Amino acid sequence: MPFKYFGKINFTPYTKVDAFADYLQKGKLMGTKCKKCGEIYFPPKADCIKCMNDKVDWIEFSGKGTLHSYAKIFAAPKGFEDMAPYTIGVVDLKEGGRLLSWLKDISDREIKIGMPVKVVPRIFEEIQEIKLYYTIEKL
């Protein structure tokens, strides 16, 4: 269950899209595509909401997209106090779907909704266990 390595804190170690974390560790950002109707999902889903088919393929995402919205969190929940304040962003991905993560190396002044961004797969280096994540960065 590699998915347990996804996130600074992981709440869902068991999932049908377990392979997502394997790919992420290899530097690949993957979504799913319904084998029947072709609907593309990010975050990946094992089951298609649209046609209810339960067979999907993994497809690689470029990580490119535009910033849809953001929020700078000052009051952090448990497990994130050490990082506060941090800015989360929502990205409209080029291939479809959306992603939420932290903005990295973008100053408050530079943040503009609609700006082009890229998603970068990462590993927490300061944490001993393997902890995978991704960041939103300037394109």
Partner 1 sequence: MKVGIVGIGHGKFGNRSDATVQELAFEPFKLAIDDAKNLRRENIDALVVGSVPEYHMQRSLPGVVAEYVGMNPKSTWLTEAACASGSAAIRTAYMAIKSGMHDIVAVIGVQKMRELSTAEILALMGRVGDVQWESIFGTTFPGYYALYANRHMFEFGTTREQIGLVALKNHYYGSMNPNAFFQKEITMEKVLKSDDVAYPLKVFDCCANADGAACIIMANETNTKKYTDTPLWFEGLGSASAQMSVLRRPNLVEIPSAIEAAKQAYKQAKVKPSDIQVAEVHDCFTIAEIMAYENLGFCPKGKGGKFIEEKQSYIGGKTPVNVDGGLKAKGHPVGATGVSMATEIVKQLRGDAGKRQVSGAEIGLTHNVGGIGQYTFVHILKR
CA max distance for the chain: 45
Q: Which stretch binds partner 1 (CB under 8 A): 10-18, 30-38, 58-66, 119-127?
A: 10-18
The beta-strand segments (E) located in the chain are 29-34, 40-41, 56-61, 64-73, 86-93, 98-103, 116-123, 132-138
Among 4, 56, 102, 117, binds partner 1 (CB under 8 A): 102
Quick check: helix, strand or coil at residue 121? strand
Count Cβ atoms below 10 Å from residue 58 Cβ, excluding itself.
Answer: 14
* Nearer residue to partner 1 within complex by CB, 35 or 50: 50
Establish if 85 lies at the interface with partner 1 (CB under 8 A): yes
Site string for partner 1, 27-56 (x = CB under 8 A): ---------------xx-------------
- Which residue ranges make up the site for partner 1 (CB under 8 A)? 6-12, 15, 42-43, 68-81, 83-88, 90, 97-102, 113-114, 133
